[in-house]
């Protein structure tokens, strides 16, 4: 298991939204709204000290939040 696992909120072909840990085969939960899925994803990332990504319907990352040890600003 990754030290700081990433969690994703992504659209599904059926119009619903899924929350999934990066690298897993199945979503952890499926929601009717993007807001519900994003809240679940952020909470999972917060508990794991990882990063949460919100993917829009166009496939681009709309938002991301880092929890735990944030590498920004970078050293040097």
Q: Sheet with 61-66: list strands edge to edge.
A: 29-31, 17-21, 6-11, 51-55, 61-66
Percent of the chain with pLDDT over 90: 79
Instruction: Answer whether 19's CB lies under 8 Å from 7's CB.
Output: yes
- pLDDT of 59 higher than 70: yes
What is the arithmetic mean of pLDDT over 23-27? 94
And the tokens for 41? 């994803």
pTM of the prediction? 0.84
DSSP track, the chain: --SS-EEEEEE-TTS-EEEEETT-SS-SEEESSHHHHHHHHHHHHHHHT-EEEEE-TTSSEEEEEE-SS--PSPP-
Average pLDDT score, the chain: 90
């Amino acid at each position: 298991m990754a030290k700081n696992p990433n969690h994703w909120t992504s659209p599904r072909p059926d119009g619903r939204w899924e929350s999934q840990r990066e690298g897993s085969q199945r979503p952890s939960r499926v929601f009717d709204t993007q807001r519900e899925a994003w809240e679940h994803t952020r909470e999972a990332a917060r508990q794991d000290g990882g990063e949460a990504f919100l993917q829009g319907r166009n496939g681009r990352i709309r938002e991301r939040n880092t929890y735990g040890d944030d590498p920004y600003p970078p050293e040097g």
